[in-house]
C-alpha cells in the first residue's frame, strides 16, 4: 500500500467529473487500498478518488471508531433520498481545518458495486448518509464549500491559497505558467 497525495481546494482538479469504473481488477483493488491508507492516515472518515487525482467513480467510507468497517462504493448512485433534511457540520480532507453546516437529506439508499463488481445496496442515515453524499459530490466535481455563501466560499479560498503559498505550492494560472 502507499499513501496518496490529497488535492486541496481550490485545486481545479477537484472540479473534474469522475468517469464510471468499467474494469474491476487488481489495479482497482490497489487504488481502494491506497485510498484507505491515505484516509486513515489523514485522518478522515471518507475519501473520493477525485480527491487523490483519480477521476473514476470510487468512494470509500469508514465512520467506525475502530476504523475496521471500510466500505468501497464503486459507481455509486443514490436511488432514494428522504424528503426530510438536516444540517450537519461537515469538513473535508481537501479543505483542511474548515467546518460548516450543509443541509442534506437525512436518509439515503445507495446502489453501488464492490471492488469485484458485485452490486449491493445500503440504506444510510445520520453521519453515514452525510459522508456518502459528501463523497459522491466529489465525483461530480463538487466540494462542500460550494453549498456555502459566496462570501464564505471566497474567504475559505483566500485562506487556503495563502496557506498553499506559505508551503510553496500554488494553483491557478500563475502555477501553470500564465498570468493572473
Of 65, 89, 118, 135, the catalytic one is: 135
92 is in an annotated binding site: yes
Single out the residue of 57, 27, 31 nearest to residue 136, CA to CA: 57
Distance from C-alpha of 39 to C-alpha of 33, rounded to nearest angstrom: 10
Q: Which helix (H) or strand (E) holds 131?
A: helix 126-139
Distance from C-alpha of 19 to C-alpha of 88, rounded to nearest angstrom: 28
β-sheet bridge partners, residue 121: 111
Distance from C-alpha of 168 to C-alpha of 119, rounded to nearest angstrom: 43
164 included as an active-site residue? no
Longest dimension (CA), the chain: 48
Q: Which helix (H) or strand (E) holds 17?
A: none
Distance from C-alpha of 42 to C-alpha of 163, rounded to nearest angstrom: 18
Single out the residue of 80, 92, 107 nearest to residue 145, CA to CA: 92
β-sheet bridge partners, residue 73: 59
Active-site amino acid positions: 135
Binding residues: 92, 134, 138
Binding residues for Fe cation: 92, 134, 138
Amino acid at each position: 500500500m502507499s499513501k496518496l497525495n490529497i488535492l486541496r481546494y481550490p485545486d481545479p482538479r477537484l472540479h473534474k467529473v469522475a468517469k464510471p469504473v468499467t474494469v474491476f481488477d487488481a489495479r482497482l483493488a490497489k487504488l481502494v487500498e491506497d485510498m484507505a491508507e491515505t484516509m486513515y492516515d489523514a485522518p478522515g472518515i471518507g475519501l473520493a478518488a477525485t480527491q487523490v487525482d483519480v477521476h473514476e467513480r470510487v468512494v470509500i467510507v469508514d465512520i467506525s471508531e475502530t476504523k475496521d468497517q471500510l466500505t468501497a462504493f464503486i459507481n455509486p448512485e443514490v436511488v432514494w433520498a428522504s424528503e426530510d433534511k438536516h444540517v450537519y457540520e461537515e469538513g473535508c480532507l481537501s479543505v483542511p481545518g474548515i467546518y460548516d453546516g450543509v443541509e442534506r437529506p437525512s436518509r439515503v439508499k445507495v446502489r453501488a458495486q464492490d471492488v469485484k463488481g458485485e452490486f449491493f445496496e445500503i440504506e444510510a442515515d445520520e453521519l453515514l448518509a452525510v459522508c456518502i453524499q459528501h463523497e459522491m459530490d466529489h465525483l461530480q466535481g463538487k466540494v462542500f464549500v460550494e453549498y456555502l455563501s459566496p462570501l464564505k466560499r471566497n474567504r475559505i479560498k483566500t485562506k487556503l491559497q495563502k496557506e498553499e503559498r506559505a508551503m510553496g505550492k500554488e494553483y491557478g494560472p500563475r502555477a501553470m505558467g500564465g498570468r493572473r
